[in-house]
Amino acid sequence: MPELIRVEHLTKIYYLGEVQVPALTGVDLTIQAGECVAIMGASGSGKSTFMNILGCLDRPTQGKYFLEEKDVSGLSRDELAQIRNQKIGFVFQNFNLLGRTSALENVELPLYYRQDHSSRDRHRAAMEALATVGLQAREHHLPSQLSGGQQQRVAIARALVNQPSLILADEPTGNLDTRTSLEIMAILQKLNQDSRITIILVTHEPDIARYAGRHVVFRDGKVIQDEKNQFRQAADILAQLPAAAEGGIS
């Protein structure tokens, strides 16, 4: 598989007044296109800082970040915003949906920043993304009319709508029950395995990490463990559970 991400001697230092607070201290890591990677570690270990840099939401203090062989670590804010919009999809623990906006309009939102998409193009792309996550019949529902699992599906559809090469998921099951968490992981696994989208997810839950093919563990701003994982198929586990109740929260 071709290389998607490479970081070299990645360092990030925050300043509290005159006090230096190192968040990352010389991280070297390569991720191939099509991998599904779980980023793990205790609070304050550096995993969230690492994900923010991968998502072009922050810049390293030192070191290099190559995305699809392009050094993006020194790009301007506008250039980073363009990369985020075209190459990266984001899924958050709290869904981050606009409350007064329908599911369809939430999914369409990233396309408003692309001049090559007409209103009809946006609508078609958003409907296709909602169909991918099984919500094509809920396109006019507001977030308040959807369950937590359905809101996270909308968030995944929004992450998909620009056809990114990379999805970054920050605790995507953190606010969900066990069955709904499995449903979300099954969707992410399917996107990874069928569409070859690279998935990188932050989680503190070993039960969720087991659905990724690789575990990278941070401690004190460094990678202390990086190993392949004999992952489990979330869809297979779901098939063994009793059917969800009518009108349930999935």
**DSSP-derived secondary structure for 205-246:** -HHHHTTSSEEEEEETTEEEEEEE-----HHHHHHTSPPPPT
SS3 105: helix
Distance CA 24, CA 35 (A): 23
Higher pLDDT, 198 or 238: 198
Count CB-CB contacts under 10 A for residue 149: 22
Q: Smallest Cα–Cα separation from 178: which of 135, 208, 213?
A: 208
Which has more pLDDT, 1 or 23?
Answer: 23
pLDDT digits (tens, 9 = 90+) for 201-218: 999 999 999 999 999 999
Tokens 């072009």 -> residue: 56
Query: What is the distance between the alpha carbons of residues 205 and 174, in angstroms, rounded to a whole number?
Result: 9
pLDDT band at 245 (very low <50, low <70, confident <90, very high): low
Q: What is the pLDDT of residue 23?
A: 96
**pLDDT higher than 80, residue 117:** no
Confidence of residue 249 (pLDDT cuts 50, 70, 90): very low
Torsion of CA 63, 67, 68, 72, to 10 degrees: -80
Residue with tokens 């999809």: 89
Mean pLDDT of the chain: 93
| CATH architecture of structural domain 3-239 | 3-Layer(aba) Sandwich (3.40)
DSSP annotation of 108 reads H
For residue 103, pLDDT over 60 is answered with yes
The pLDDT assigned to 119 comes to: 87
Please give the C-alpha separations between residue 202 and each of 32, 41, 54, 89, in angstroms, as whole numbers: 17, 9, 12, 14
Contact of 93 with 48, CB cutoff 8 Å: no
Q: Could you tell me the pTM of the whole model?
A: 0.92
pLDDT category of residue 101 using cuts at 50, 70 and 90: very high
Q: What pLDDT does 132 receive?
A: 96
pLDDT value of residue 247: 43
